[in-house]
């Protein structure tokens, strides 16, 4: 009983916390790229946790498998968004020096989880 309660409570609280923090960060300064990327990263984490919660609530079968696959797809968005946040937050000018390399770094970061997801399906 306690384990099933934790399986629902932890993803629910982490979803609410991640999405609430994303909204708070955007409310502070919507124009800053670091805030935008932080909100995207937190939203990706919140979406992933919401899908994990949904998979715990769906009966076993093909629907649960589909929800778990969506959760893995949402998890693939987490590393590139956090890399983009760290690149823009790490410099005082919003990462202007890395503008030319940012697409390459994001593609390399996204390639590993997307390849893993393609192999898992």
pLDDT of 57-109, one tens digit each?
Answer: 888 898 998 888 888 888 888 888 888 888 888 776 655 666 777 787 778 77
**Euclidean distance between CA atoms 12 and 7, whole angstroms:** 9
Q: What is the mean pLDDT of the chain?
A: 84
**Euclidean distance between CA atoms 85 and 98, whole angstroms:** 12
Give the three-state DSSP class for 58.
coil
Number of H helices, E strands in the chain: 5, 0
Q: What is the pLDDT of residue 59?
A: 87
pLDDT band at residue 21 under the 50/70/90 scheme? very high
Instruction: Check pLDDT > 80 for residue 119.
Output: no
**Euclidean distance between CA atoms 98 and 110, whole angstroms:** 17
pTM for this model (two decimals): 0.79
5 contacts: CB under 8 Å, gap ≥ 6? none
Task: Write the burial class of residue 88 (CB in 10 Å: 0-12 exposed, 13-18 middle, 19+ buried).
Answer: buried
Give which of 42, 43, 70 is closest to 55, Cα–Cα.
Answer: 70
């Amino acid at each position: 009983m306690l384990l099933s309660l934790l399986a629902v409570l932890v993803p629910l609280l982490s979803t609410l916390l991640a999405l609430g923090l994303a909204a708070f960060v955007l409310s502070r300064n919507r124009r800053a790229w670091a805030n935008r990327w932080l909100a995207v990263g937190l939203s990706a984490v919140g979406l992933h946790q919401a899908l994990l919660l949904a998979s715990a609530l769906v009966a076993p079968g093909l629907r649960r498998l589909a929800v778990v696959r969506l959760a893995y797809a949402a998890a693939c968005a987490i590393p590139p968004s956090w890399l983009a946040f760290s690149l823009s937050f790490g410099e005082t000018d919003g990462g202007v020096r890395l503008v030319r390399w940012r697409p390459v770094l994001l593609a390399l970061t996204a390639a590993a989880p997307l390849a893993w997801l393609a192999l898992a399906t």
